[in-house]
């Protein structure tokens, strides 16, 4: 939200020059960012994939477990 407010404030006078200044400041700030190395990105991606697969297997197992439990309960009701 502060970025949007800042953008609106610079648009109030001489929009062309202010927009150029705004994007110039963005470029300066992006240069200050500490970007991860390629190796770090690959490691983090691998961690996320493994965690996602683990959660999917766990939730799939719970689904099968509940399906079997409900089938057993519903099919063996006294009539």
Domain that holds residue 41: 35-79
Based on the fold, state whether residues 79 and 50 are members of the same structural domain. yes
* 36 within 8 A of 44, measured Cβ to Cβ: yes
Based on the fold, state whether residues 47 and 17 are members of the same structural domain. no
Give the CA count within 13 Å in the CB-facing half-sphere of 46.
6
- Please tell me the pTM assigned to this model: 0.59
> In sequence order, what are the residues at sequence separation of 6 or more whose Cβ sits closer than 8 angstroms to the Cβ of residue 18?
10, 11, 12
Q: What is the pLDDT of residues 1-56, one digit of tens each?
A: 666 666 666 555 666 777 888 888 998 998 899 999 999 999 999 999 999 999 99
Based on the fold, state whether residues 69 and 47 are members of the same structural domain. yes
Based on the fold, state whether residues 44 and 61 are members of the same structural domain. yes
DSSP of 37-49: PHHHHHHHHHHHH
């Amino acid at each position: 939200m502060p970025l949007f407010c800042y953008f609106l404030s610079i648009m109030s006078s001489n929009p062309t020059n202010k927009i150029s200044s705004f994007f110039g400041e963005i470029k300066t700030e992006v240069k200050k960012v500490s970007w991860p190395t390629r190796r770090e990105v690959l490691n983090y991606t691998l961690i996320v994939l493994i965690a996602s697969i683990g959660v999917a297997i766990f939730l799939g197992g719970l689904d099968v477990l509940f399906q079997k439990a409900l089938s057993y309960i519903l099919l063996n009701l006294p009539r």
